[in-house]
Amino acid sequence: MTVTSKFNRLEREAPDPIVQTMTLYANDPSPNKVDVSIGVYKSEKGGSYLFPCVAEAKKVLAANDPGHNYTNMQGIPEFISGARKVAFGEEYAAEGKLASLQTISGTGALHMGFVFLREAGYTNFYLGVPSWSNYIGMIEFIGSKVTTFTHYNEKTKKIEFDAVVSALESAPANSVFLFQTCCHNPTGADYSQEQWKKIGQLLKQRDLIAVLDTAYQGFSSGDKDKDAWAIRHFYELGLEFVVCQSFSKNLGLYGERVGCVHAVVQDKEYVPNAQSTLVANFRSECSFAPAYGARLASIIFQSPELKQVWDNDVAEITERLKTIRKKVLDILTELKTPGKWDHVVEQEGLFWYSGLTPVQNDRLISEHNVYSTSIGRVNIAGLNNNNVEYFCKAIDEVVRNA
Amino acid sequence: MYRTYVVKHAQKSARVPVRAFSSLNNQLKAWSEIPLAPPDKILGISEAYVADANTNKINLGVGAYRDNTGKPIIFPSVKKAEQVLLELEKEKEYTGITGSKKFQNAVKNFVFNNSNKDPNGKQLIDSGRIVTAQTISGTGSLRVIGDFLNRFYTNKKILVPKPTWANHVAVFKDAGLTPEFYAYYETSKNDLDFENLKKSLTSQDDGSIVLLHACCHNPTGMDLTVEQWDEVLQIIQDKGFFPLIDMAYQGFASGNPYKDINLIRRINELVAQDKIKSYALCQSFAKNMGLYGERTGSISIITESADASKAIESQLKKLIRPIYSSPPIHGSKIVEIIFDEQYNLLESWLSDLDKVVGRLNTVRSKLYENLDKTNYNWDHLLKQRGMFVYTGLSSEQVIELREKYSVYATEDGRFSISGINDNNVKYLADAINAVVNK
């Protein structure tokens, strides 16, 4: 049969590398195997983790079932108002300068944020690298352009701040700078408050726009308010910017797709324009964001008791991540593993950007059944008291022999 | 010669750029007179309805089910599935980019295999020729297939019935396709305009994409008969059209979802005979499980071979990843449980759905009974199916209904009849009679 397919332009695409890693892990029969690849929090016991505040909220929701009717196109009002408070704090959230849309979690927030900026005439993006692998594809997907600069120096294992400043100083006016507020993915290297101040100043001076992606709020300091420092500082500076917020990690609501995009509009007269544009754009993509996860989040936002439980959950998780980091450093020091390993405790959040080479990462898998990503990003939460020593010995071996 | 209508620039042109967002910018003055983007029409109606103090007010705007007391319902079978979920669910980790295998298989078996009643569909499933992806309900599935066809299909023109759901045009345009209308309904006769439907399709470019409403056509409620579908499917073969089927109301025509998919079974037969190579189907559980707000739906592409399926699936993943990464799990887990034999919920869901549709049919008949037929022929009401009646009332009459009688409906004369119940049907019919007999 010689029918030419109407889809003859299609080629078969390779799966996401992380999906390949996860498949290898799933098929590995070794009892010692360690998964430190995908960015999902794991408990000390090594399994999946349901936040206690979410478990409680599920019961509350089941007992007060509102059903599954259509929500608002902007999103569930209680969710929007709670999400604003989490990102901007009570005071600024109440000032009426925000246009917000409930989205399909963080990816959806970024996508709707990028589409919104395109509509407003801003299509020229700057991004510090290395960065989350999806950003560039997402920006180019909607036809905007992206220029990269160095965010992180692989040799010193620290932020390359001169490169950040020089990008801000040289970018044309109206360019968009995409930053992560905390727990940088994949490097774990965050800007200090002094550095944020400098960035804010340059954004203002040079008439640039920022997109602040906040996917791990709370996992840096253990305190969600502290981790939102950059957002609130930019707000105080009178900047106009976009915040893309996800509750995948800090409420563990991954699969429920709970997120929000906010545009800060300093001249309140234009808030309705921004708001109606966000909604109109969403109408032709999704119509509504999913209700269930946002309802769970709203219950937690509105209940002082559950909010307290949530604060404790986040603090405990962060504490565990820090303890594990410390252990990794201690064990590597004890093993006298060649090289300098301080960055494991200097970096923040879920990820340790190990600096291991691709060959060493491959060997971690082939010789030790330890699965990190090919770029050497280790999900610290995949480690626990039972496997941390095994993991460190594996690192020691590959550093010495590969 | 039948004239095809180019779809007028729908939402986008009325949309306002937000350059004013940069209000600190010097351009501020130049943009200060920009009007707001218009609110969604249906939502505007709901807002006006809420603000109306008349205690007799009736909302016939939104396409969501209400019971005989005017309240939204939770399907009892859905509630049971949620109880199972509450017991079983211990985490909320990500599902795949295109959803879980279990969800995909449930949809395939339900829709294409017709739960073991469609051997051709089964054959397509078994030979790996169906790619299914969970999406953000119906709108999301239309958007994903719109983007997909814009990228990979040879033709950008998509033919949609006139009239059609307003958002069809907006979604396809936004995805980069070019929607054009084909004739469907003759408003002056309150009937399907089948002769012009065939003519206008035949006069179109070969290889265009054609959108078909599987059942309960939105907004007219007027569906094609089995024989008429066969004629349309013949035109599709002759013209080499790519069929895109939208099935938002499966079950709402007959009360039984397995009976409402004649079009799918017929087209599967043609695919099995190699007369149609490929098609796509958008469906959702928003209406037939009442999962509206949970955004639970799917896109399926019926491909030419298992190899083509692999390429298409990989491209769908590549397309979805930069838009929203993965779909929401709560609604899809409910669907998985309802179709999972061990929970024994399928029959109770079918019975829930049958009750819902039964009430709509009762309301339809009651409205018909109460309408004055001396000056206006209302027989079309009884031919129409689903959640809507397409009254044929003019926009002036709809506005009069709203302003004088607090009856809220879209100005195209579409009434969402689930807003009607035993308590208000007489009031509504009297209002319509008064407006029509004026």
Residue of A nearest to B66 (CA): A69
Question: Active site includes B246?
Answer: yes
Which homologous superfamily is B41-74+348-437 in? Aspartate Aminotransferase, domain 1 (3.90.1150.10)
Contact A7 B93 (CB under 8 A): no
Residue A4: the pLDDT is 62
Tens-digit pLDDT profile for chain A (402 aa)?
345 677 777 888 877 778 788 888 989 999 999 999 988 999 998 888 999 999 999 999 999 999 999 898 999 999 999 999 999 999 999 999 999 999 999 999 999 999 999 999 999 999 999 999 899 999 999 999 999 999 999 999 999 999 999 999 999 999 999 999 999 999 999 999 999 999 999 999 999 999 999 999 999 999 999 999 999 999 999 999 999 999 999 999 999 999 999 999 999 999 999 999 999 999 999 999 999 999 999 999 999 999 999 999 999 999 999 999 999 999 999 999 999 999 999 999 999 999 999 999 999 999 999 999 888 999 999 999 999 999 999 999 999 998
Contact B139 A287 (CB under 8 A): yes
Residue B38: the pLDDT is 61
**Is the CB of residue B143 less than 8 Å from the CB of residue B171?**
yes
Residue B17: the pLDDT is 47
Contacts 24+ apart (CB under 8 A), B64-68: B64/A69, B64/A70, B64/B287, B64/B292, B64/B416, B64/B418, B65/B287, B65/B290, B65/B356, B65/B360, B65/B387, B65/B418, B66/B418, B66/B419, B66/B421, B67/B359, B67/B421, B68/B359, B68/B421, B68/B422
Residue B353: the pLDDT is 98
CA-to-CA separations, A17 to A11, A111, B392, in angstroms, rounded? 17, 21, 56
Mean pLDDT of B100-116: 95
Contact A70 B20 (CB under 8 A): no
Which residues, numbered 345 to 374 in chain B, qualify as contacts with chain A under a Cβ-Cβ cut-off of 8 Å? Answer: none
- Looking at residue A134, what DSSP letter applies? H
Q: What is the pLDDT of residues B65-99, one digit of tens each?
A: 999 998 999 999 999 999 999 999 999 999 999 99
Which residues, numbered 32 to 51 in chain B, qualify as contacts with chain A under a Cβ-Cβ cut-off of 8 Å? Answer: 32, 34, 36-37, 39-40, 43
Location of each CATH 3.40.640.10 domain in chain B: 95-343
B170 touches chain A (CB under 8 A): yes
Amino acid at A291: A
Residue B9 reports pLDDT greater than 70: no
Q: Is the peptide bond between A130 and the residue preceding it cis, with omega within 30 degrees of 0?
A: yes
Residue B308 reports pLDDT greater than 50: yes
**Is the CB of residue B11 less than 8 Å from the CB of residue A284?**
yes
Q: How confident is the model at residue B329 (pLDDT cuts 50, 70, 90)?
A: very high
Chain centre distance of CA B278: 21
Question: Active site includes B287?
Answer: yes
Q: Strand pairing partners for A128?
A: A149
**Lowest-confidence range among A348-357, B13-22, B314-323?**
B13-22
Residue B121 reports pLDDT greater than 90: yes
Residue B335 reports pLDDT greater than 90: yes
Residue B18 reports pLDDT greater than 90: no
Contact A266 B23 (CB under 8 A): yes
Helix (H) or strand (E) holding B306: helix B306-324
Mean pLDDT of B178-190: 96
Fold classification of B95-343 is: Aspartate Aminotransferase; domain 2 (3.40.640)
B17 touches chain A (CB under 8 A): yes
Contacts of B227 (CB under 8 A, 6+ apart): none
Catalytic residue selected from B118, B147, B246, B260: B246
Contact A5 B308 (CB under 8 A): yes
Residue A23: the pLDDT is 85
Location of each CATH 3.90.1150.10 domain in chain B: 41-74+348-437
Mean pLDDT of B394-417: 95
Chain centre distance of CA A170: 27
Q: How confident is the model at residue B235 (pLDDT cuts 50, 70, 90)?
A: very high
Global pTM reads: 0.91
Question: Among A1, A3, A4, A6, which would you mutate to test the B interface (most chain B Cβ atoms within 10 Å of its Cβ)?
Answer: A6
CA–CA separation, A350 and B152 (whole Å): 38
Residue B33 reports pLDDT greater than 70: no
B58 Ramachandran zone, left/alpha/beta (phi>0; psi -120 to 50): beta
CA–CA separation, B62 and B78 (whole Å): 21
Contacts of B329 (CB under 8 A, 6+ apart): A255, A256, A257, B92, B95, B100
Question: Active site includes B230?
Answer: no
CA-to-CA separations, B247 to A38, B118, B211, B282, in angstroms, rounded? 36, 17, 11, 6
**Is the CB of residue A391 less than 8 Å from the CB of residue A370?**
yes
Contact A257 B324 (CB under 8 A): yes
- What's the token pair of residue B129? 């020729």
CA–CA separation, A83 and A103 (whole Å): 11
Q: What is the pLDDT of residues B194-221, one digit of tens each?
A: 999 999 999 999 999 999 999 999 999 9
Helix axes B425-436, B395-405, angle to 10 degrees: 130
Residue B289 reports pLDDT greater than 50: yes
Which residues, numbered 317 to 336 in chain A, qualify as contacts with chain B under a Cβ-Cβ cut-off of 8 Å? Answer: none
Could you give the ipTM of this predicted complex?
0.90
Residue B8: the pLDDT is 35
Contacts of A235 (CB under 8 A, 6+ apart): A88, A92, A97, A264
Residue B39: the pLDDT is 62
| Mean pLDDT score of chain B | 91
- Looking at residue A355, what DSSP letter applies? -
Residue B28: the pLDDT is 38
Beta strands in B190-278 (DSSP E): 191-192, 209-213, 242-247
**Is the CB of residue A126 less than 8 Å from the CB of residue A147?**
yes
Which residues, numbered 266 to 295 in chain B, qualify as contacts with chain A under a Cβ-Cβ cut-off of 8 Å? Answer: 274, 277-278, 290-295
Residue B3 reports pLDDT greater than 60: no
